[in-house]
Amino acid sequence: MKSYSYVAPALAVLLLAISGCRSVPRDAGFADVRRNIEERLGKQVHWNQGSTDDQSAADSVRTMLQRELTVDDAIQIALLNNRGLQATYQALGIAQADLVQAGLLRNPRFSGSISPAVGVSGTKVGLDLVADFLNIFSIPLRKRAAAAEFAAAKARVTASVLETASQTRLAFYDFQAAQQALDLWKTTVQATNASFTASEQMHKAGNISQLDLALDRALRDQARLGMAKAEAAVADSRERLTGLMGLWGKPASAWQAAAILPPIPAEEIDLTDFEKSAVTQSLELAVSREQAEAMARRRGLTNLQAVLPELETGVSSEREEDGAWFVGPVLSLEIPIFDQGQARRAKARAEVQRALESHAALAVQIRSRARASANRLLQARSRALFLRDEVLPLRKEILDQTQLQFNAMQIGVFQLLQVKRDQIEAGRQYIETLHDYWRSRAAVELTLAGVSPSNGGSTALEEWHDSGRQTLDGKERD
């Protein structure tokens, strides 16, 4: 007997109405990241998603590569061209999808069976349609948790961009410093070559022994080794910068950059309230905060689920062998006898506490790092200025006075060349200290932009993650 109830179609319509056709926006909050980067760094970023803008981004990279790169050029190229960053942007898509997922109702389940009788005629047909309606109550909590995680993902992506920019900046300074060091080594080699030339000529004239000649040759060889190492350092740092800028093939070998480090700027970065700025600007703290928020929402979810058991309702219909349909509602209910969710609730509470403590610990670490960065910057500055204003002019004076003593035949050509080499060594010390200064300054600038670098280069957030508390995308490790 065909007696359908009108319940089934009505339910179907209702379900469709509730679900809606939710699609995931492609932008995925990248506009926020772009704005953030422009505020904190003053640079452009672009997510290659197959639009016409991809080409203009590629064009501006190509245009910049034509000229001698400044550090800002290199950073801008890296931000537009680094494929690793492009991969990172997908985290936004992932988080965005999670956000949408959180708002979706669980699909109803349809099950059916056809069982022909064995030995006799007739077929049993069973059709069920059930759905979990109670999850509708957990949607707001889930959505708020996912929203917090989405915000965390945006902060994390922004931090990745800042880190890439900072690494590019450091690599650029490394490259310049390596080139300057190589230049000085070339001069040192010139000086030891000259010293050896003098020895060679003296030996040819019969004025010195073979031992003296050999000793001067050893000196020259040492200098050549030093220069070779310096050449390797230049190639190394060039490759690192090339990789960060996302270049390969011909553009990789073609780009040119200014060969010397910039001088110490007259004005130092304003470091008043630096520690406070480090905390307020910190993207890592933002991530940590959002994740604690998400954790709290999940705890609420757990608590809710402890109270609301799993419940499925639906419609069940069965057709007996004789053709009679039996249609009626069906209910499936979890009965919390053994597991009342007490363990899950306790776990959730502990996890929220842990997130809060970790956040506090992170803040302390960020403050400490900020103080250390500021110190290092000021120390490097004062050392570099001392070298520039006291040591280098003194070395010049020593060379000048040595030249006078040489003219007066009090000392010989070897001593004069040694003093020249000492002057070059002081120059090398200055370049190293200038390099230190710019590296320290990059660390301070990165902190002000919102990421706290450690001395070893990893950020506070990375280290915290590495200690195993959370996966990088915010999910708990099970």
Partner 1 sequence: MAISRRKLITGGLTAAAMGAALLKPSPVLADGKTKPVWAKPALEPGEPGKHYQPVVTPNGATLPFKIVGGAKVFYLVAEEVEHEFVAGLKAKCWGFNGRVHGPTIETVEGDHCRIYVTNHLPSATAIHWHGLLIPNGMDGIGGLTQKPIEPGETFLYEFTLHQHGTFMYHSHHNEMVQIALGLMGLFIIHPREGAKKVDRDYAILLNEWRIEPGASRPNPNEMSDFNVFTFNARSFPGTEALLARTGDRVRIRIANLSPTDHHPIHIHGHHFKVVSTDGGDVPESAQLPETTVLVPVGSTRTVEFVADNPGDWFLHCHMTHHMMNQMGHDIPNLIGVDPGVLDKAIQPLIPEYMTMSGNAMEGMEMPMPPNSAAMLLGHGPFGAITTGGMATVVKVRDELAEGKDPGWYMNPESPADKPASPDQLKRDGVEPPKRNVQPGAEKHEH
Q: Tell which one of 49, 190, 316, 418 touches partner 1 (CB under 8 A).
A: 190
Tell me the sheet residues that pair with 329. Answer: 315
CA atoms within 13 A on the CB side of 15: 17
Nearest approach, Cβ of residue 231 and partner 1 (Å): 20
Question: Among residues 257 and 411, whose Cβ is nearest to partner 1?
Answer: 411
Tell me the sheet residues that pair with 111. Answer: 128
Q: Tell which one of 65, 131, 182, 416 touches partner 1 (CB under 8 A).
A: 416
Q: Which amino acid is at 80?
A: L
Judge whether 103 and 269 are in contact, CB under 8 Å: no
The DSSP secondary structure of 289-335, one letter per residue, reads HHHHHHHHHHHHHHHHHHHS--EEEEEEEEE-TTS-EEEEEEEEE--
Residue 191, interface with partner 1 (CB under 8 A)?
Answer: yes
* Contact residues for 467 (Cβ-Cβ < 8 A; gap 6+): none
Interface segment toward partner 1; rule CB under 8 A; list 7-15, 185-193, 222-230, 356-364: 185-193
Closest CA to 473 of 153, 101, 164: 153
Nearest approach, Cβ of residue 158 and partner 1 (Å): 51
Question: Among residues 115 and 197, whose Cβ is nearest to partner 1?
Answer: 197
Nearest approach, Cβ of residue 234 and partner 1 (Å): 22
How distant, in Å, are the alpha carbons of 86, 279, 375, 469 from that of 368? Answer: 32, 10, 11, 21
x/- site string to partner 1, residues 344 to 383, per CB under 8 A? ----------------------------------------
Nearest approach, Cβ of residue 225 and partner 1 (Å): 20
* Contact residues for 163 (Cβ-Cβ < 8 A; gap 6+): 446, 451, 459
Residue 194, interface with partner 1 (CB under 8 A)?
Answer: yes
CA distance 428 to 416: 19
Nearest approach, Cβ of residue 420 and partner 1 (Å): 6
Interface size with partner 1, residues (CB under 8 A): 31
Interface segment toward partner 1; rule CB under 8 A; list 139-147, 156-164, 189-197, 269-277: 189-197
Nearest approach, Cβ of residue 216 and partner 1 (Å): 11
Residue that has been written with the tokens 């690599």 in this structure: 171
Question: Among residues 417 and 460, whose Cβ is nearest to partner 1?
Answer: 417
Residue 209, interface with partner 1 (CB under 8 A)?
Answer: no
φ and ψ of 412, to 5 deg? -105, 180
Question: Where do the H-state alpha helices sit in 67-134?
Answer: 71-81, 83-103
x/- site string to partner 1, residues 418 to 447, per CB under 8 A? --x---------------------------
Judge whether 134 and 311 are in contact, CB under 8 Å: yes
Question: Among residues 380 and 417, whose Cβ is nearest to partner 1?
Answer: 417
Nearest approach, Cβ of residue 219 and partner 1 (Å): 14
Judge whether 29 and 96 are in contact, CB under 8 Å: yes
Interface segment toward partner 1; rule CB under 8 A; list 110-118, 151-159, 183-191, 328-336: 183-191
Q: What share of the chain is helix, strand, coil (3-state, %, to 5)?
A: 70, 10, 25
Tell me the sheet residues that pair with 123. Answer: 116
Nearest approach, Cβ of residue 369 and partner 1 (Å): 44
Q: Is 1 helix (H, G, I), strand (E, B) or coil?
A: coil
CA distance 34 to 61: 17
Residue that has been written with the tokens 């999940």 in this structure: 298
Nearest approach, Cβ of residue 417 and partner 1 (Å): 7
Q: Tell which one of 94, 97, 127, 202 touches partner 1 (CB under 8 A).
A: 202
CA distance 358 to 460: 11
Q: Tell which one of 19, 48, 135, 193 touches partner 1 (CB under 8 A).
A: 193
Residue 8, interface with partner 1 (CB under 8 A)?
Answer: no
Nearest approach, Cβ of residue 211 and partner 1 (Å): 14
x/- site string to partner 1, residues 385 to 414, per CB under 8 A? --------------x-x-xxxxxxxxxxxx
Residue 207, interface with partner 1 (CB under 8 A)?
Answer: yes
Give the interface with partner 1 as residue ranges (CB under 8 A).
Answer: 187, 190-191, 193-194, 197-198, 201-202, 204-208, 399, 401, 403-414, 416-417, 420
